[in-house]
Amino acid sequence: MEYSRPTSLRDECTHYCAGCGHGVAHRLICEVIDELGIRDRVLSVAPVGCAVYAYFYWDFDCCEAAHGRAPAVATGMRRCHPDKIVFTYQGDGDLAAIGAGEIVNAANRGERISVFFVNNAVYGMTGGQMAPTTLQGQKTTTTPAGRDKNAAGWPMKIVEMLAQLNGTAYAERCALDTPKNIRAARAAIRKAFDVQIAGLGFSIVEMLSICPTCWGMQPVQALEFLQKQMIPYYPLGVCKEPQ
């Protein structure tokens, strides 16, 4: 099969670790942008985290935001440029920890932005510390004995939480582990953009991904962990459909 690179995806060598799902997510977003023909209208906001250099790979306008503040920056961009299509790309530490207040309030206001949330259950860029989405019992550099709910609380189910807000128009969780799930993630990204284009409100797509480096696993083992441990706790599917 001949490889065809999306027009919106630059021909750059990746800085991501072997097995990381960010490259897959980047490509899916670019494929959908090309499919919709909105490349000249897109404004994106990169996070603080492993994807801090997302703008190296995307051939459209991109802005950097302070840690966790991508939804606030995206809100300003969308309100100042109502004709543009604005999305944020965030990890679990950026979105669910320091940015928890930002994402909740942006969703509650029904901001017409799309959020693509990559959940690998760990702080990847800074050494593998516990994240809000780290599973109960999962070992990290800050929970060497495993996450304990009595000390750190329960892993946060972001899309279920945001789906309860009136401003959220669409919320879905996908996974980047198999061809079938990757195709479903592409369809979810398309729907998130469609919701924004239709002016229906806030949309979020969570994508479960592996982090072999910080999990201390080979990529195949990491995929098994995602399938056997993450998906049962973070079930795939739509949490809220657009009305």
Q: Where are the domains of the chain?
A: 22-240
- List the Cα angle 85/133/237 in 5-degree steps: 60
Considering Cα of 112, then 113, then 119, then 125, what sign does the dihedral take? Answer: negative
Pairing of strands 114-119, 85-91: parallel
- pLDDT value of residue 128: 86
The pLDDT value given to residue 126? 84
Contact 186, 153 (CB under 8 A): no
Name the CATH code of domain 22-240 (choices 3.30.530.20, 2.60.120.860, 3.40.50.720, 3.40.50.970): 3.40.50.970
- Distance, CA of 69 to CA of 230 (rounded, Å): 26
Q: What is the mean pLDDT of each run of 10 residues along the chain (243 residues)?
A: 84 93 97 97 95 95 96 98 97 95 98 98 90 96 95 97 98 98 98 98 98 95 98 98 93
pLDDT at 4: 85
Amino acid in position 201: G
Is the CB of residue 209 less than 8 Å from the CB of residue 176? yes
- Map tokens 């972001």 to a residue: 158
Q: What interhelical angle do 100-108 and 70-80 show, nearest 10? A: 40
- pLDDT for res 135: 98
For position 2, what pLDDT does the model report?
60
Cα-Cα-Cα-Cα torsion 31, 243, 132, 153, nearest 10 degrees, comes to -160
